[in-house]
Amino acid sequence: MKCRFPDAVQGSDAASIHGRTGGIALSILTISRQLGSFGDEIAEALARKLDWELINRNQLVPRFFADISDSREKHLLNESAKFFLSQTKAGGTYLDVLKESLLDLAGRQSAVLVGFGSQIIFADFRDSLHIRITAPENIRQARIRKQFHVSENEAIQILETADRKHKRFVSAVFGIDLTDSGNYDLTLNTALLSVDECVATILSLQREHSLRLQIEAECEQCDSIDHQAEVSLFKNPSEADFAKILDMYQIDWKYEPKTFPVEWDAEGNVTMAFSPDFYLTKFDTYLELTTMNQKYVTQKNKKMKKMRELYPGTNVKIIYKKDFYSLIDRFSMGSSDS
Amino acid sequence: MAEYKQRRILYSTEALQAKVAEIGRHISRDYAGKELVLVGVLKGSLYFFADLTRAIDIPIGVDFIAIGSIPNTTNQTGIVRITKDLDLDITGKHVLVIEDIIRTGLTTAYLVQNLDARKPASISVCSLLVNPDQQLINVPISYFGYEITNTWLIGYGMDISEKGRNLPYIAEIEKINS
């Protein structure tokens, strides 16, 4: 969907403005958590807010292995990490079945996956984010004592057992160290962060990430060039001033996320391209500032005309010098009326 | 304080009433059988809103919203905030934002974003006046009365330093002191 705010924005489609439809339709969030870190609570809240399915370790056997295992094998799958590496009757390991089933699921729906090394299974999955939730030992102990009404020693024991089991599962099945920060896109320490704060942070990252992937996919589809991975710095003070105005209205923008080739030579080399300064993500609009002399304005007009011809449906506008300074003047007067 | 003089009446009372009645008919037809809430953006839309709601012959909810700019010590431009929020819950309802005029679309974009987060069934915009040349943002305008150019206007809700809002017509003005 090109226009994220069509003629009438349908509330039921509101998620589409955050990148869940269009180029990138499905997403996976994996949550690895320490016991007592509020990781489960965060995962549940995320699944509820996103309206995505929540899948944890307890659901693996009934969901993915019910038809291919007898009661003994089910028991072993629940209790032994290494059993995942055993061969199934149909050939291939239980781990292979798990990977296939999860990747198949990810092709059909979005989901929040908690534990069981899902961050490793989806390490190379395009629209996935891997989150690790931790908390300091003393805080986890206090939470466990409160939750289970146990003594300090019992809490220490519960945590040691849980940490050991988590680590052993990922190490035995995937040969990976669970605590390696390289496995995660984001690690949150809940010592001082509430569940709500963590959820808001993850949701914000998920939205931005989906949007970045959506722009990336659009670039692939229409042969434009994706600049999002580059560090973007404003080329002149006018652009910085304009960004301040957009920030004032809390309008999300990206700076020069794409280049649109508009002219090629006989060998197919790009001889002219257009990189609009701003992309307003929720309104699918590109804006180009022209605060320089008329010679460049004419060139930009030409590029914009070609861009409209070559990339139909792309909303692009040029903000001319006079209009730009009129905007700046208005905001220096403190007006907010449109 | 800005002073001004009227150049000419751009839209007479009669023309405005006919235009508002026409927009009201369209809205009544398009939203028949739907739960519609009209949200007037204060203060500019005041008279347009009052006339438009009376030109609509289907049941509607009415509410108002106002926004203002709050100075920010870390940012020259400050930040836009809602200064009068809705009283009605718009979740699951069809929302039509009523504006007097859309120039850049920045204010409208802010409102649409904000209201959309409340999960209405749909959200559209109706503006008496729009200036397509100045419009930067592709806001979902479903109804408008007139396209205008980059001129100073007054009347029918629009003001210059709070003057002229209550004129029953829209006039083009010339600022003579600001």
Give pLDDT tens digits along chain A (338 positions): 233 333 444 433 333 323 333 334 468 999 999 999 999 999 999 999 999 999 988 888 888 888 888 888 888 888 888 888 988 888 889 999 989 998 888 888 999 999 988 999 999 888 899 999 999 999 999 999 999 899 999 999 999 999 998 888 899 889 889 889 999 999 999 999 999 999 999 999 998 888 888 888 887 777 777 777 766 678 788 888 888 889 888 898 989 888 888 888 888 888 888 889 999 988 889 998 887 766 678 888 888 888 888 888 888 888 888 888 887 777 663 333 43
Rounded CA separation A115/A57 (Å): 6
Average pLDDT of span B41-58: 96
Distance separating the N- and C-terminal Cα atoms of chain B: 6
Distance separating the N- and C-terminal Cα atoms of chain A: 28
Q: At residue B43, does pLDDT exceed 70? A: yes
Q: Read out DSSP for A250-316?
A: T--EEES-EEEEEEE-TTS-EEEEE--SEEETTTTEEEEE--S-HHHHHHHHHHHHHHHHHSTT-EE
Q: At residue B133, does pLDDT exceed 80? A: yes
Q: At residue B20, does pLDDT exceed 90? A: yes
**A221 CB near a chain B CB, below 8 Å?**
no
pLDDT at A304: 86
Residues 9-38 of B with CB under 8 A from A: none
Of B78, B122, B138, the CB nearest to A285: B138
Rounded CA separation B99/B129 (Å): 8
Measure B19 CA to nearest chain A CA, in Å. Answer: 21
Q: Which of A12, A13, A249 to mutate to test the interface with B (most CBs of B within 10 A)?
A: A249
Rounded CA separation B22/A150 (Å): 72
pTM reported for the whole predicted model: 0.67
Token output for A238: 């006018």
**B73 CB near a chain A CB, below 8 Å?**
no
Q: Is the ipTM of this complex over 0.90?
A: no
- B69 to A6: CB separation less than 8 angstroms, yes or no: no
pLDDT at A75: 87
Q: How many CB pairs under 8 A join A and B?
A: 106
Rounded CA separation B79/A271 (Å): 41
Q: Which of B156, B158, B162 is nearest to B50 (CA)?
A: B156
Token output for B172: 């083009």
Of A249, A282, A334, the CB nearest to B106: A249
Measure CA A173 to chain center.
Answer: 26
Helix (H) or strand (E) holding A172: helix A152-174
